[in-house]
Amino acid sequence: MRCFTFRDFQLVPTLEKYEQILDLSLEGGVPYKNLEQHVSIPTLAGIMKSHPRELEGRLVTRRGVKGFAHKYLETYLHQLADKEDWETSMDVLALVVYGVLVFPNQEDLVDYDAIGVFVVVKS
């Protein structure tokens, strides 16, 4: 992953900008405290409208980090768009955003910790 910095210019949005983009106020919020808890596959399958065995089979581990390949989530997004399941599409797109923009860890991988944060925020 690469990052370019410019004098007096922020390439990555600030938390305040994310508040505006997501229309979500962070003021008065509780910090994320579920660091040692992982979302269950059945819970995630319910959100993604997928079978738990399918998701378990799609989990990959890269350099000790477990998660979903970005390509798998993109392919799944296309399938949902073909079915016109927009609500689930928005949830899967949010997973991609959390994994790629908000909590990037490895290139082309949405790690399970980012997924856990998404599920906690969604709940």
Which tens digit of pLDDT belongs to each residue from 17-35? 767 777 777 676 655 555 5
Residue 120: per-residue pLDDT: 76
Instruction: Count Cβ atoms within 10 A of the Cβ of residue 113 and give its class: 0-12 exposed, 13-18 middle, 19 or more buried.
Output: buried
CA atoms of 30 and 92, how far apart (whole Å): 24
CA 55, 40, 90 angle in degrees (round to 5)?
Answer: 60
Mean pLDDT of 7-16: 63
Q: Residues 111, 103: contact at Cβ < 8 Å?
A: yes
Domain boundaries, the chain: 38-122
pLDDT of residue 26: 66
- The reported pTM is 0.64
- List pLDDT tens digits, range 53-110: 998 999 888 888 888 888 899 999 999 999 999 999 888 888 888 777 666 777 788 8
